[in-house]
Structure 1
């Protein structure tokens, strides 16, 4: 699990480091910064919501009373061109314009890449002299600039059998905290095997179950270096996301290797906030003392159906499983388990 935490930290660092330019957009005004951030952050947090909904199950069979299993699970949610960019039209902004090219251009989200860098101009009006000053800024890159086309999630997960076919599940990733980046996952779930209620369970070698699972993500990145136009105190980006998965599971009853599938529904939401104190340095004396505190938050909601196919291999006390979920952000899941 240490290796998984390291991977999560590295990708979080890449994502957050790419966001350094976000605070520069405050010079264009809170409204412009918030509008850009809504389009920039939402695909990444949506990918996290879909990714952390995976890994809840590897069979429809519920454990007997007080039997348990502990698993290390890792997920990769894959990005595509639609999630890696969005169309920025300067007509929708108050003080932003492109330094070159048309007024509407495709720019990177937190999952994409601007190649080459995209320069924009912030048009600031000096209220005293009535003169316009143009401030150049560079739009933030995304993880695509590092050749990464996936968003990872992962956790330790424990399951224990209850009575009447119920199985309680809990998942947790200890807080990854290294210098300026923090991230954490936790959640709980409940699975109930319904095999005995199905008339043909004696004819077909299958098991059937229902599951509900909840997962929470928290992440933080601190800005420790001042940009050329923004300084401040305790400046940071904080993200929170949560998801619910409701699903029906079918699996085979074979002795060594089993196959499983599921259809389900995901619903969730995410919120990303730019927090702290921001001191703006525009080059205009009359507005250089402007201070912004906790400038804005952006949010997004996701919901949609998904289907999962996978297999599980028994090796004495160990189990290996892998599956693939077809959803808005297709997700691959692998896990290793130990239990009785």
Structure 2
């Protein structure tokens, strides 16, 4: 292993012919990767957790049974409220094995959802080029995130609807966000005549969505080039099951929803591969690809329980909906749905 990574060591460490090379640096290489992955996890995880909430709401605007081939199209505006506790974290030198905070034992560091404060990080052994200390990445520095998405649905009969949503890439400070997915909704109240008689609607929905989120990350400068980890992506695949019950009153439909979803989180460094890509190979991989292999250590699966409340007002072919999803995070959704036929 040591022989395979010698070239990468020469690349990372600021060596010259006038310096005495200490073979002990071999013992610290893996520590560098561990520290980088640890920091990536603390930085990006609050944002990917938030992305699940951003995609979980707005799937259902009515629990009513639709007629066959009835279709609708919706335009959504969302506001996600960033909680203070997920905007930063305390980083201590004891959290690292190779790196350390320059001039301090600990510091408050922004997550991807945090502010624009930056802290300098160096290595404990003075091996990485001292002329280019590592700057911690900035967060979005927003208390609210605004984004939009489109939705559509069509009833194929028997109280069953096919539904979908799509959001174009949304630019946020220092990052981007996108979600898309599909699902199936089925009416249960059609089997319970007493519910239909009292204009109470009950439906279940199963959806699958993909959330992609990316942010600027670490720009590490060395004598022989950059490492290609200046952009980090969070890729989330979410399966969601929800139950909605609603009550109709004149032109209004008041609805409550219970949501359970299971999300698989994966991460990777993207963007330019760095100026060292053609120079260095580690076990046959360039620096960025090798870092991505190491990021597999922080892949994870999470289960969320979320609640939703909404009210929809119907006017001719239009349905105006206001909804809120909440538990760990709060996301609001305002939508206009147009009944096509």
What TM-score does the superposition give when structure 2 sets the normalisation length? Answer: 0.75
Which residue, out of 67, 79, 82, partners 2:82? Answer: 79
* 1:317 lines up with 2:317 in the alignment: yes
Shift in CA distance, 226/303, structure 1 to aligned 2, threshold 3 Å: closer
Gaps of 5+ in 1: 1-25, 281-290
* 1:263 lines up with 2:265 in the alignment: no
CA deviations 1:25-82 (Å, max 9, x no partner) are: x998222111100010000011011211111011111321001000012322322122
Q: How does 1:163-182 map to 2 (within 5 A)?
A: 163-174=157-168
Answer yes or no: is the 8 Å Cα contact 1:50–1:266 preserved in 2: no
Cα distance in 1 for partners of 2:38, 2:229 equals 23
CA deviations 1:191-219 (Å, max 9, x no partner) are: 11111333631563311111111111235
Q: How does 1:113-128 map to 2 (within 5 A)?
A: 113=115, 115=117, 117-126=118-127
Cα distance in 2 for partners of 1:184, 1:306 equals 20
* Residue 53 (structure 1) aligns with: 56
Count of residue pairs brought into register by the alignment:
295
Cα distance in 1 for partners of 2:138, 2:53 equals 22
Shift in CA distance, 177/205, structure 1 to aligned 2, threshold 3 Å: closer
Shift in CA distance, 48/177, structure 1 to aligned 2, threshold 3 Å: closer
Query: Which entry has the higher C-alpha Rg, 1 or 2?
Result: 2
* Residue 200 (structure 2) aligns with: 206
Root mean square deviation of aligned Cα: 3.4
* Residue 90 (structure 1) aligns with: 93
Cα distance in 2 for partners of 1:87, 1:182 equals 25
Gaps of 5+ in 2: 1-28, 277-285
Secondary structure, aligned partner of 2:45? helix
| Deviation of 1:265 (Å) | 0.9
Shift in CA distance, 132/171, structure 1 to aligned 2, threshold 3 Å: closer
Moved more, 212-221 or 154-163: 212-221
Secondary structure, aligned partner of 1:253? strand
Q: How does 1:1-340 map to 2 (within 5 A)?
A: 29-101=32-104, 103-113=105-115, 115=117, 117-126=118-127, 136-144=133-141, 148-174=142-168, 184-198=178-192, 200-201=194-195, 204-219=198-213, 228-229=221-222, 230-231=225-226, 236-275=231-270, 277-279=273-275, 292-294=287-289, 295-296=291-292, 297=295, 298-339=298-339, 340=341
| Deviation of 1:174 (Å) | 4.2
Answer yes or no: is the 8 Å Cα contact 2:32–2:99 preserved in 1: no
Shift in CA distance, 267/154, structure 1 to aligned 2, threshold 3 Å: farther
| Deviation of 1:306 (Å) | 1.4
Secondary structure, aligned partner of 1:51? helix
* Residue 15 (structure 1) aligns with: none
Higher strand share: 1
Shift in CA distance, 222/108, structure 1 to aligned 2, threshold 3 Å: closer
Answer yes or no: is the 8 Å Cα contact 1:208–1:249 preserved in 2: yes
Answer yes or no: is the 8 Å Cα contact 1:220–1:239 preserved in 2: yes
Cα distance in 1 for partners of 2:231, 2:259 equals 36
What TM-score does the superposition give when structure 1 sets the normalisation length? Answer: 0.75
| Deviation of 1:153 (Å) | 4.8
Cα distance in 1 for partners of 2:256, 2:300 equals 29
Answer yes or no: is the 8 Å Cα contact 1:121–1:134 preserved in 2: no
Answer yes or no: is the 8 Å Cα contact 1:190–1:211 preserved in 2: yes
Shift in CA distance, 27/278, structure 1 to aligned 2, threshold 3 Å: farther
